Amino acid sequence: MKEIVVAVTGASGALYAGRLLRALLSGGHGVHLVLSKYGRYLLREELGFRPDQETLTEFLIRLYGEEITAGTLREYSVADQSSAIASGSFDTDGMVIVPCSIKTLSGIAHGHAENLIERAADVVLKERRRLIMVVRETPLNLIHLRNMTAVTEAGAVVLPAMPAFYQQPQTFDDLGDFIAGRICSLLGIQHALFPRWTGSKASTEQ
């Protein structure tokens, strides 16, 4: 089982975070979760999280069922730079920022380490562990593109929130699972979140 740091920042696409958390936790993995202020806001606005009435675990059970209790969920405050995940000596199997805002992308590209998300990402890069950044913005300006180049050169994987349609998605959850599945593959986690591409029908019919 893996130990994965998951950060949710203030970009649209809380669904992607939800589907990844469902996949990791129901698979029995350990999740170290950090929400930025706007990441929390978007969990409320887009996914219906009610922080005044429920804990994150209760929310995820309400959304996805008891199966998510197979894993362990630990939440950290974005303001707490003394947390375990702020240190390279705390061993994890990688970090995913999903969705990743342009502001957090910039902070990581420039090594600001201003909050726990930026610091944990900086640590993951310096320890040469897997960092996956699900950046979401459109259109992209030259600053965005240069920052994506900088984090890629530093070892991160930019996995834009760009679901595909060849697997014939029927629901929003299918779209979310496509991104969650691509993330799991990069983390070395087996999954069946979407049907694999096995070649075009046209080429097999010829």
List contacts with ligand FMN (CB under 6 A).
Answer: 9-12, 36, 38-39, 101-104, 136-137
> Given the complex with ligand FMN, which of 24 and 34 has the nearer CB atom?
34
Residue showing the smallest CB distance to ligand FMN in the complex: 10
In degrees, rounded to 5, the angle at the alpha carbon of residue 31 between the alpha carbons of residues 71 and 29 is: 40
Name every residue whose Cβ is closer than 8 Å to that of residue 196 and which is 6 or more positions away in sequence.
none
Q: How far is the CB of 121 from ligand FMN (least distance, A)?
A: 11
Report yes or no: 120 and 85 within 8 Å, Cβ to Cβ.
Answer: yes
Q: How far is the CB of 195 from ligand FMN (least distance, A)?
A: 28
Q: How far is the CB of 120 from ligand FMN (least distance, A)?
A: 13
Q: What are phi and psi of 96, to 5 degrees?
A: -125, 130
Q: How far is the CB of 47 from ligand FMN (least distance, A)?
A: 12
> Given the complex with ligand FMN, which of 103 and 129 has the nearer CB atom?
103
Whose tokens are 């995940």? That residue is: 85
Q: How far is the CB of 135 from ligand FMN (least distance, A)?
A: 8
> Given the complex with ligand FMN, which of 140 and 192 has the nearer CB atom?
140
User: Could you tell me the CA-to-CA distances from 194 to 67, 81, 136, 175 in Å, in that order?
Assistant: 19, 37, 21, 9
> Given the complex with ligand FMN, which of 10 and 176 has the nearer CB atom?
10
The enclosing H or E element of 158 equals strand 157-158
Q: Which two tokens stand for residue 25?
A: 């936790």
> Given the complex with ligand FMN, which of 9 and 68 has the nearer CB atom?
9
